[in-house]
Structure 1
Amino acid sequence: MTITPLLARRTRNMGASAIREILKVASRPGMISLAGGIPAPESFPMHIMRDVIDSVIEKYGPNAFQYDLTEGFLPLREALAAYLADKGVAAAPEQVLIASGSQGALDGLGKILISPGDHVALEAPTYLGALQAFTPYEPQYVQIETDHRGMLPDALENALERHPVKFVYLVPNFQNPTGRTLPLKRRRAIAEIIQRFDTLLVEDDPYGDLRYRGTPLPPIKSMAPDHVVYISTLSKVFAPGLRMGFSLAPDRVRRWLVLAKQGVDLHTSTFNQALAAEYLAGGHLKRHLPHIVDLYRPRQQAMLDAMARFFPDAFTWSVPDGGMFVWAEGPEGMDMEAVNRKALERNTAFVPGTFFFARPGDGRETLRLNYTMADEATLSRAIELLGEVLSDALSQKQIYKRMG
């Protein structure tokens, strides 16, 4: 049977994740992967998992295996309301909406907010998963200029003056892919701008708990609650396979997100939600989070130290205070997709930065590096190999795209 004529027009804008395609190659035996944004298996709280499961079965019985509300399992929503209060965000349990990972919340927002041709403003670069969630709904992207500290408020204001933006998408803490954190002064400025322009902001915060240095900053949601959809996940601090995401949205947006979710999956796994509820309410996250931070902090430092030793002088990179990524930039015109192919031949993988830009062709000279999935010695060796590949590439004209 011929399928192509049956496909919806939006499938033209759907494609396989470039990162997941790279990860297929990066999973070969002997490969050192700096590509995936994947939590380390040793960060999972396996030592308490049996106790959490037993507690869920004892506490909730058959209810943990039954259909439940689309909005989410009430004990989890209660636990998340307390978790958000610790971040300075006021939320009643009934205002919290559970999703199948934060990706489910992003897709729901695309479904209810984006019509073909609508303008969506976002950072350049930005999270690839957000682009994948929004692009099938055919928006026009407005890339907002950034610097080493994140989105520039003046650039956002100029964009809102020039375009009828449906919403702004932003990752303020240890951004994927750059690792940058938006300073408090800029958060306040952005909160003022979106309220003045009466514009919706989607604040995506999957990495905020992974802070290795410095003081936590308040979410923008706490500064402009009626203009912000706050999204987060437990994937980075519990277990990603459970697919526990959640959002806190203005009432009218939340109601539409519930309707959209009903048509997708009715509700997220009740049992998984019950596990997450017990993990939070039982105080396990607060006790386990320092272990995750202590695991990742020296790995990040090992990568940064190795980059200082082995990367060519022509490169610069971010020095994040937390998260999972370091962002590097080479000379203008350098083609990191070509360099990555050379790196794969040396059994080292990274993600070319161009995939994180809404405008095709931008960021060809950039790359994203992940440090959570390897120990310090392995990371140092991988960066040494990559430094050799980059040094070789700098002298080869074929790794440059034609300029002008």
Structure 2
Amino acid sequence: MKNFMLYEGDTLYLQLYNCIREKIEKGELTTRLDSIRKTASNLVLSPSTVIKAYELLEKNSYVTSKKGSGFYITYHQQHTFYPEDYMKNEDFKYSYFNEECAIDFSSASPKSNLFPIEKLKSAIIDILNTEGEKALLYENPQGNIKFRNIIKKELETLKIKTSVKNIQIISGAQQGINLISKVLIQSGDTVVTEEPTYKGAVTSFKENGGKIYPVPLEDDGINIEKLKEFLKYNSVKLLYIIPVFHNPTGVSLSGEKARILIELARKHNFYIVEDDSSSDIYFKNRIKPIKSYDIYNRVIYIKSYSKVFMPGFRLGFMILPQEITQSVVRTKYSTDISTSGLNQRIFSYFMENKIWDDYTDQLRKEFSKKQNYLYNKLKTVPHISFEKPDGGLSFWIRLPCEITGEAVYFKLLKEGVSIIPGTVFSPNYIEYIRLSFAQCSYDDMDKGVTKLTEVLEELIDLNI
């Protein structure tokens, strides 16, 4: 263990912890750790730093100490939290020994009992009666023209002007990100992201040769000064950003910063990829997308409906700059020919008949109550810190006393409660967890917060 990866911003013991943890998970360490003295000597660290890292590994069930013998690896794959699973599917449900958790604080999609199933049935019957087999054929690769016209009209209410020629229908936000990566990213190109962020996007950019530069978030969005400093000396191809009810933090970008980002994109010749999956779930005033400030056509706007409307439906759209539209259409065709024509017609029906508006109104009322309820429950939990977002479906919680999100994750799983550790979104956010109330009943929230309190008390006692 003569080399380990440094994570900017981590203290030394956390850097060492992350390095050893990764080596264990990859199978590079399988039996026991070097002695504390040997590791300290090899890495020129104090023994106390190594001890803290080893103790953290033991707390998170990676190793077990044997008095007078050392630290032995007790990590088992079936107990392990895999961030890459979450990268592939943001609503992946974590389980312990493949059993579903009774209380789900991990999924950020609404419970299925809220879906307008009866209206969906009526829509399908009406469409098939009207269009017959045509509704089941391959659709135009760019998307159904009627659906795109309806989207264009809806966008005007958000002060976004575009042509139907620049609207591309996609099968969810992840496909949109993948298409943009394939079209725009070449080996060595730099992509700036917020930190923390959605790792599915990071993975896509890296797979296409991109280099990632993370910029930390502030209370009103990405740190503009750090971004400006980086842009002074570096060329950037894309800025990937989740500006409204950011996942996982819930932070929203201010209008002032949105205008500055547009000017920076023009000045430094990069595109802004705006990922919008949660802006419909607002509890105060609706927040304008960055695209509504885009006077230079530098924003690629990706809107997913799947987050709040039947995740398996897989539907969304992109607004593209004219110069890349045809390249994206060709890439989309080579990927899956087209997005389901029937699904596009169903959603057109929902939007035309105000079913979509009624549904999102219902969600906002339901989730505003749930957010308030969980917020008040969490305020009773000692030592944690968190903010109350103006929308979205989650809380981003900082844990006390150097307790890690992974430790809380493992212990809660054994109690039938699932959460998301902060390391899913960035290795630097080891002391954070994300709790979503999307799938929870009020009784679930009561029991889940009680379990969380008990687990934190246990871990705090171990840490003293």
TM, length-normalised to structure 1? 0.88
Q: How does 1:40-79 map to 2 (within 5 A)?
A: 40-79=111-150
Q: Which residue of 2 aligns with 1:390?
A: 456
Q: In the alignment, which residue of structure 1 is the partner of 2:260?
A: 189
Note the C-alpha offset of 1:159.
Answer: 2.2
Q: What corresponds to 1:161 in structure 2?
A: 232
Q: CA deviation at 1:115?
A: 2.0
Per the alignment, do residues 268 and 141 of structure 1 end up closer, same or farther by CA in structure 2, a change over 3 Å counting? same
Instruction: Provide the secondary structure at the position in 1 that maps to 2:330.
Output: helix
Partner of 1:375: 441
1:128 corresponds to 2:199:
yes
Aligned to 2:386: 317
Instruction: Work out which of the residue numbers 115, 137, 143 in structure 1 matches 2:208.
Output: 137
**What is the deviation of 1:43?**
2.5
In structure 2, the partner of 1:349 is 418
Note if contact 1:27-1:33 (Cα within 8 Å) is conserved in structure 2: no
Which residue of structure 2 aligns with residue 279 of structure 1? 350
Matched, 1:92 2:175: no
Q: Residue 326 of structure 1 corresponds to which residue in structure 2?
A: 395
RMSD value over aligned CA atoms?
2.0
CA 1:176–1:39 in structure 2 vs 1: closer, same or farther (change >3 Å)?
A: same
AA partner of residue 334 (structure 2)? G
Q: Distance in 1 between matches of 2:272 and 2:350?
A: 29
Are 1:218 and 2:288 counterparts?
yes
Counterpart in the other structure of 1:81: 152
Question: Unmatched 5+ residue regions in structure 1?
Answer: 1-13, 399-404
Aligned to 1:10: none
Residue deviations 1:152-176 (CA, integer Å, cap 9, x gap): 2222222222321110001111111
| 1:5 aligned partner | none
Q: 236, 241, 247: which one pairs with 2:307?
A: 236
Residues 160 and 291 of structure 1: CA distance in aligned 2, closer, same or farther (over 3 Å): same
TM-score by length of 2: 0.77
Q: Which runs of 4+ in 1 moved over 4 A?
A: 18-22
Displacement of 1:219 after TM fit? Answer: 1.5
Could you tell me how far apart the structure 2 residues matched to 1:94 and 1:159 are? 35
- Offset, 1:367: 0.9
Deviation at 1:54, TM superposition (A): 2.0
Cα offsets for 1:311-368 (capped at 9, x unmatched): x22x2112111111110112474321122111111221111111112xxx31101111
Q: Structure 1 residues 255, 30: closer, same or farther in 2, change over 3 A?
A: closer
Cα pair 1:116 1:138 within 8 Å, conserved: yes
Q: Which residue of the other structure, out of 33, 37, 49, is the alignment partner of 2:108?
A: 37
CA 1:351 to 1:195, structure 2 compared with 1: closer, same or farther past 3 Å?
Answer: same
Q: Which runs of 5+ in 2 are unaligned?
A: 1-82
When structure 1 is superposed on structure 2, of 163-172 and 47-56 the one drifting more is 47-56
Q: Which amino acid aligns with 1:350?
A: I
For 2:219 and 2:450, the matched residues in 1 are separated by 25
1:26·1:32 contact (CA, 8 Å) conserved in 2?
A: no
Contact 1:210 1:293 in 2 (8 A): yes
Query: Cα deviation per residue 1:256-304 (whole Å; 9 max; x = unaligned)?
Result: 1111111110111111111111111222112222111112111111211
Q: Quick one: which amino acid aligns to residue 178 of structure 1?
A: T
Q: Which stretch of structure 1 is more off in the superposition, 233-242 or 20-29?
A: 20-29
The residue type paired with residue 432 of structure 2 is T
In the TM superposition, what is the alpha-carbon distance from 1:394 to its structure 2 partner? 2.2
Moved more, 241-250 or 228-237: 228-237
Identical residues among aligned pairs (%): 25
- In 2, the alpha carbon distance for the partners of 1:20 and 1:209 equals 18
Secondary structure of residue in 2 paired with 1:145: strand
- The corresponding residue for 2:428 is 362
The answer as to whether partners of 2:91 and 2:106 remain within 8 angstroms in 1 is no
Could you tell me how far apart the structure 1 residues matched to 2:97 and 2:134 are?
Answer: 41
Letter of the 1:224 counterpart:
D
1:338 paired with 2:407, answer yes
Q: Is the 8 A contact 1:55 1:278 kept in 2?
A: no
2:413 counterpart letter in structure 1: L
Cα contact 1:261–1:267 (8 A) shared by 2: yes
- Matches of 1:268 and 1:56, distance apart in 2: 17
Question: How many matched pairs?
Answer: 379
Tell me which amino acid in the other structure corresponds to 2:220. R
Aligned to 2:62: none
Shift of the 370–80 alpha-carbon distance from structure 1 to 2, 3 Å rule, reads same
Contact residue 120 and residue 167 of structure 1 kept, 8 A: yes
Whichever residue aligns with residue 216 of structure 1, its letter is: R
Q: How many Å apart are 1:188 and its aligned residue?
A: 1.7
Which protein has greater RCO, CA pairs closer than 8 Å, 6+ apart? Answer: 1
What is the Cα deviation at residue 27 of structure 1? 7.2
User: Which range is displaced more, 256-265 or 42-51?
Assistant: 42-51
- The answer to whether the Cα contact below 8 Å between 1:340 and 1:349 also exists between their aligned partners in 2 is yes
Q: Is the 8 A contact 2:401 2:463 kept in 1?
A: no
Question: What does residue 401 of structure 1 align with?
Answer: none
Q: CA deviation at 1:22?
A: 5.6
Tell me the amino acid that sits aligned with residue 241 of structure 1: G
Q: Structure 2 CA distance, aligned partners of 1:340 and 1:152? A: 29
CA contact (8 A) 1:330 1:366 kept: yes
Summarize the Cα distance change of 1:27–1:369 in structure 2 as closer, same or farther, 3 Å threshold. farther
* C-alpha distance in 1 between matches for 2:294 and 2:243: 14
**Equivalents in 1 of 2:406, 2:281: separation in Å?**
29
Q: Relative to 1, partners in 2 of residues 1:240 and 1:21: Cα closer, same or farther, differing over 3 Å?
A: closer
Instruction: Name the CA distance, whole Å, in 2 between partners of 1:258 and 1:126.
Output: 27
Q: Report the more deviating stretch, 145-154 or 222-231.
A: 145-154
Describe the shift of the 1:291–1:192 C-alpha distance in structure 2 as closer, same or farther (beyond 3 A): same
Partner-residue secondary structure (3-state), 2:85: coil
- Residue 211 of structure 1 contacts residue 322 of structure 1 at CA under 8 Å; is this kept in 2? yes
